[in-house]
Structure 1
Amino acid sequence: MATLLVVHHSPTPRTLEIAQAALEGTRLEGLEDVTVVERNALEATIDDVLAADGYLLGSSVHFGYLSGALKHFFDTTFNATHEATKGRPFSYWLHGSYDSTGAEIAMQQITTGYGWKLCADPLVFLGEFTAEMRNAATELGATVAASC
């Protein structure tokens, strides 16, 4: 049985809605063989990362950059996990009000350092969260779960 680690920082109703839609996707029919472990970015541990076969990450975007909580997750797990988890599948979603450029660049650089392999196009949402975006987040969750 594969394990998918979902790590996110969802401090607002809008970002929580995105996280919930992505999590719904991880539980669709046909994905029963995937165990989903959900962690708040400030609570995820080295053991969580090492035990997972794939990763789905999510963050609110503040001032064009990743949330401090998701950055903290990366800072506290990188040294102990990046060699052991190289090549594992991942993707992510980001949500901001007006600009996500810095967050997108950071995600690319950080996950390149881990050596993880992008298994689905990341989702970047700006502004209001629409039904179309909700469907895309659900599909993202399903795709990453199926990649484990």
Structure 2
Amino acid sequence: MTKKRLLIVAHAPSPNTRLLRDAVIRGAEQLELDEVEIVARAALDAGPDDVMAAQAVILFTTENLGYMSGGMKDFFDRTYYPCLEHTQGLPYALLIRAGHDGTGTRRAVETIVTGLRWRAVRDPLVCRGDFQQAFVELCEEFGATIAASLDAGII
């Protein structure tokens, strides 16, 4: 039997965002699920083949000037058309590290994934304001929840 693949696409340019990215990965991997393979890629490295091989995706972006990061925008620019007809219904979850409120970032990502016809499996997690150590635990739980949901066939 082939494992289900959870793809984590992250733009993590700072030490704090790398802590959050690593927490998402750690949360997903800590369950040691027999049926789920965790694949993590930097937004600038992930491509259409990665998306098409996945059964679910976690998107992690920073808020940059009220929009998604340039790295995440680049990911969508390179993958949108190659994936458009092949990934409809793909379950995804969104994580935003926002210095402000994350509203513009959320709207931008949701506009693109709506065009791709991907399916949100939970409300976005938005880590707002100054960095807090509590964000790390939230991100770990986020990764674990999505991985467990994929394993259980909920998503």
Q: Please classify the TM superposition score into its range, dividing by the shorter chain length.
A: over 0.9
CA contact (8 A) 1:5 1:52 kept: yes
Q: In 2, distance between residues paired with 1:85 and 1:3?
A: 13
1:125 is paired with a residue whose SS is strand
CA contact (8 A) 2:31 2:144 kept: no
Which residue does 1:59 correspond to in 2?
61
CA contact (8 A) 1:63 1:99 kept: no
Deviations 1:6-35 (A, max 9, x none): 111100011111111111111122523211
Q: In 1, distance between residues paired with 2:59 and 2:53?
A: 16
Which of 116, 119, 133 pairs up with 1:117? 119
Displacement of 1:53 after TM fit?
Answer: 0.7
Point out where structure 1 has 5 or more consecutive residues left out of the alignment: none
Letter paired with 2:6? L
Deviations 1:47-87 (A, max 9, x none): 11111111001011111110011001001101111221111
Which residue does 1:139 correspond to in 2?
141
Q: In 2, distance between residues paired with 1:18 and 1:121?
A: 18
Displacement of 1:142 after TM fit?
Answer: 1.4
Letter paired with 2:90? R
1:18-97 alignment runs, 5 A limit: 18-29=20-31, 31-97=33-99
Letter paired with 1:129? F
Displacement of 1:45 after TM fit?
Answer: 1.1
Letter paired with 1:38? A
Letter paired with 2:24? A
Q: In 2, distance between residues paired with 1:145 and 1:29?
A: 8
Letter paired with 2:148? A
Q: How many residues align?
A: 148
Point out where structure 2 has 5 or more consecutive residues left out of the alignment: 151-155
After superposition, the CA RMSD in angstroms is 1.4
1:27 is paired with a residue whose SS is helix
CA contact (8 A) 1:54 1:147 kept: no
Determine what percentage of the aligned residue pairs are the same residue.
Answer: 38
